[in-house]
Structure 1
């Protein structure tokens, strides 16, 4: 009970520093930003696709699927797959130094629409922790818990629209290893693999499975049962 309360307080703190109105379930989980153009795929479009497999709902979503390196069925199956986690262990990892490095690495081109990279860590962390509250996470659940609208940026020669997909040895080709929907498919498995083990394993220490801030430490973590 105490662990869940502590994790809840940390999640609340993560939301409070977003400096924008924070509410889980934003209606704009992906705003595809290319140059000066912005196209929004709504949460309703994603929910319909993920629950029924129906496509041709939204032009940008269809293009995102086509450019993901996976079939629509594979994206649907991957994004709805659930992974068992411990709320307190996920929370401790995401607030650790290694966890912050992980979150920065995972928001390379995908971050809050208005505050961009300045609140990227807080925004993604809040969504993951909120989805972990029931002891499991999924891509669909993380997306549904985004506190604000997120954009995938390919603009101004600053952001190239590619993501660091946490899938060492599990993705093939640029599309599978850099696309947003492929990133979503692998994200919950990567969080599960990197969550901090119970404290008794470390003799009361709260340090994580990795001891370095080297980003490569995350890509080498095991990906458990993607499909």
Structure 2
């Protein structure tokens, strides 16, 4: 199996990361060298699952939180995986030994990092939401169109890659339920408290 085939049948089990479209990643028949950018939350799942994929090698990590960085670098080292560490994604993107990046930073930074990664010649997997607004999304689509056939950009949307959802879509299209006129979705999620300050300073800015 070569690097063009290694990800064709790979699905990131139980998460948003699905990589079959990376099957045409450019390069020789070596491992696909991936860097994970942002992993205090969602990105930690990227590290865990990418580590299990044959033909994929995590070679670098990037996060602004040194404690988070040290923890994951140490965990990978326990499995004999040595990675470069970066606190600035721009420095990481200068690394010629990286073929692709996954992005799981705070939502409002997704597009700007993805744009920079494409410009640096990296394949990109970016978590949802892909953009902070419609303008950013359009800019990313435009950038991806310019490198079509050379680089691959994938948005983390398991609704597009999960086989169950694909089967449900085909069932609706078959007309078994008649003509579909309206679809509604409801999403309830528990969110942990972000904490609160004990009090406000009585000092006023001058």
Task: Specify if TM > 0.5.
Answer: no
TM range (shorter): under 0.3
TM-score (normalizing by structure 2): 0.24
Higher relative contact order, structure no. (Cα contacts within 8 Å, ≥ 6 residues apart): 1
Which structure has the highest helix share of the two? 1
